[in-house]
Chains A and B, each alone.
Chain A
Amino acid sequence: MSRVGYIAVNTFREAVRDRVLYNLVAFALLLSGAAILVGQISIDIERLVVVNLGLTAVSLFGVVIAIFIGIGLVSKEIDKRTLYTVLSRPVRRWEFVVGKFLGLSGTLFVNTFFMAIGVFAALLYVSTPHRFQSSDAWILVALFFIVLQFVILCSLALLFSSFSTPLESAVFTFALFVIGSFAEDLRGFARMSHGLMRWLATGAAYLVPNFSALNVIGQVAHGQPISAHLIAYNTAYALAYSVMAICGAVLIFERRNLK
């Protein structure tokens, strides 16, 4: 295994040791409670609630994990002084950053995988009769997009973590998550502006990550198909954006004085 691989595996192990995967228990309880309860307090939306709630919970739990683990990836190593040991192995700085990114993304992928099982189990329970429909396959696309969302957030958390304190990183990453949810509104605002404001707004609109395009939960909840074009472009966008953020993290970290 390469040095990047070792860092990635170690990052995953640390996350598991931090009991990150315990959130799966809370998730399972939430989803099973909702699946049982919703039929008694509402009308005709059991499947919708399972899909909407399930996918929203997967997304939000993952966002929280991405931010709170991601912001400490570099700073924790610096505080514990283990970073110097690692870098002296020798592990190059860029290998350290990329390894951390892959490790956290892998953790979130595993987390999402188990949550997906929970979502499909709950869906099977509330469906009448108890079997899947062909339109349920689109839920996998929504989950894939949520994983892409995590990949972007991990890269951003790592970027901020490479130069700022954990608290600042958390605030910046969360702010970008919120602003990214309004990315399409921001581009609309840029189109309506004039002069310098238009340039600034357009720049900001293209710089913030576009999370709204990655959110297809509403569509898949109603069994609507997702176009292959959207899947391809979203994948390419998420990878390009993450590479950009990781490169930024690498550039900053390479020049950072660790003393």
Chain B
Amino acid sequence: MTMTGSRKVTVTASVLLLVSLASSVLLLRRLDQLRSHATLEEVLYITSPKWIKRLSLGYDGLMADIYWTRAVQYFGGHHSQGIEEFKLLDPLLEITTALDPKLTAAYEFGANFLAPKPPNGAGQPDKAVALVEYGVRNNPDNWRLYYNLGFIYYFDLKDYTRAAEAFERGSKTPNAHPFLRILAAQMAQHAGEIQMARMLWQTAYASTKDEQIQKNATTHLRALQVDEDVTELEKIVARYQELTGLLPSSFNALIGAGMLRGVPVDPRGKPYKLLPDGRIELRNPDDFPFVEKGLPPGYVAPRPKLD
């Protein structure tokens, strides 16, 4: 009798356990749907890096890793949802780097999250500069940080003088990439020109083994190529019009006039479009994020994907 009674209890308790487990899971999913706009992630309960350092009881490194992961998830989450406000990004990065000033990924990637205009970033290049300068103070021999700083000054702030200074400072660090000295020198003559931008992105590609950074650099280099192609092609069309008094009806007219060797193609191999008004356009603009020329009027670029 006792055995049967014990078995009944076992079966009942097991079934009840499984049923309540399944119910908890289903209820939790429903709660997540109800609270999908919960603002938990928009709240930093402790904003002071000093206090967080104290609370970590000396385990600063792990706390820094947690905050860095939180910053990455925060940026990625907002970016994928198309939210263009990143209120907590700078405080999260400040806490991360205060806890672990040697965490260079936070400076390099963090600056890339802060500096670019939305939707590619937070549109806070001044905060990005402050972050990287803090990184430079704590890691004075890390040439990459000077390179990042120069990058922000060049592309996001268009301050070519400060960009050149940053590259120059970086070129003096031990084991600096030789490109830094060349960039600093070239900046004086060619700041603002496409070849300068190309050099910067080529350096970015060549100086890293990180696939994401290389992919990003390749995308930018393709965009620069398109901008250059469109500029050159529109110049050729203008020259044709000067010579003949007419706009070319197609690229064949330009080939026939000896101004082109063949139908020009974009970096992905698709032919450019020559419009009746003489403008040059990309056949598929979505293939080239960051491009500034060759876009149809009113074109809105799709949100860049974070891989």
Contacts and interface: CB of A to CB of B under 8 A. Distances in A.
Interface of A: 38, 41-45, 48-49, 51-53, 56, 59-60, 178, 181-182, 185, 211-212, 215, 217-218, 221-222, 224
Interface stretch (B65-73, B186-194, B196-204, B291-299): B65-73
A43 B100 contact: no
A43 B109 contact: yes
Given A38-B69, A49-B65, A43 B105 contact: yes
Contacts of A181: 57-58
Interface string B86-121: 000000000000001011010011000000000000
Interface of B: 54, 57-62, 64-65, 68-69, 72-73, 100, 102-103, 105, 108-109, 210, 212
Contacts of B109: 43-44
Q: Which among B54, B69, B108 has the greatest number of chain A C-beta atoms within 10 A?
A: B69
Contact of A53 (B65, B68, B100, B212): B65
B231 to A, nearest CB: 35
B58 A211 contact: yes
Nearest to A215: B58
8 contacts: A43-B72, A43-B105, A44-B105, A48-B61, A185-B54, A215-B58, A215-B59, A217-B61
Contacts of B212: 43
A38 B72 CA distance: 11
Nearest to A183: B58
Contacts of A212: 58
A178 B73 CA distance: 31
Contacts of B69: 38, 41-42, 45
B65 A222 contact: no
B61 A218 contact: yes
Contacts of A182: 54
Contact of B105 (A38, A45, A218): A45
A49 B61 CA distance: 8
> What 8 pairs between A and B have smallest CB-CB spacing?
A44-B105, A52-B61, A42-B69, A218-B61, A52-B62, A215-B58, A181-B57, A181-B58
Contact of A52 (B65, B73, B105): B65
A60 B59 CA distance: 10
B95 to A, nearest CB: 15
A171 B100 CA distance: 30
A41 B57 contact: no
Q: Taking chain A's interface residues, is the majority helix, strand, or loop, or is none over half, making it mixed?
A: helix
A218 B68 contact: no
Given A48-B61, A52-B65, A215-B58, A42 B102 contact: no
B25 to A, nearest CB: 20
A153 B11 CA distance: 46
Contacts of B102: 218, 222, 224
Given A44-B105, A45-B103, A56 B72 contact: no
A142 to B, nearest CB: 10
Contacts of B54: 182, 185
Contacts of B61: 48, 51-52, 56, 217-218, 221
B112 to A, nearest CB: 10
Nearest to B102: A222
A211 B108 CA distance: 32
A212 B54 CA distance: 11
Contact of A48 (B57, B59, B65, B210): B65
Contacts of A42: 65, 68-69, 72-73
Nearest to B60: A218
Contact of A45 (B57, B60, B68, B73): B68
Contacts of A60: 59
A44 B103 CA distance: 10
B263 to A, nearest CB: 41
Given A45-B68, A181-B57, A53 B62 contact: yes
A79 B223 CA distance: 78
Nearest to A213: B58
B59 A217 contact: yes
Given A44-B210, A48-B103, A56 B73 contact: no
Nearest to B105: A44
A225 B201 CA distance: 34
A208 B41 CA distance: 38
A56 B61 CA distance: 9
Given A43-B105, A45-B69, A52-B65, 11 more contacts: A41-B69, A41-B73, A42-B73, A45-B68, A49-B62, A182-B54, A211-B58, A215-B59, A217-B58, A218-B100, A218-B102
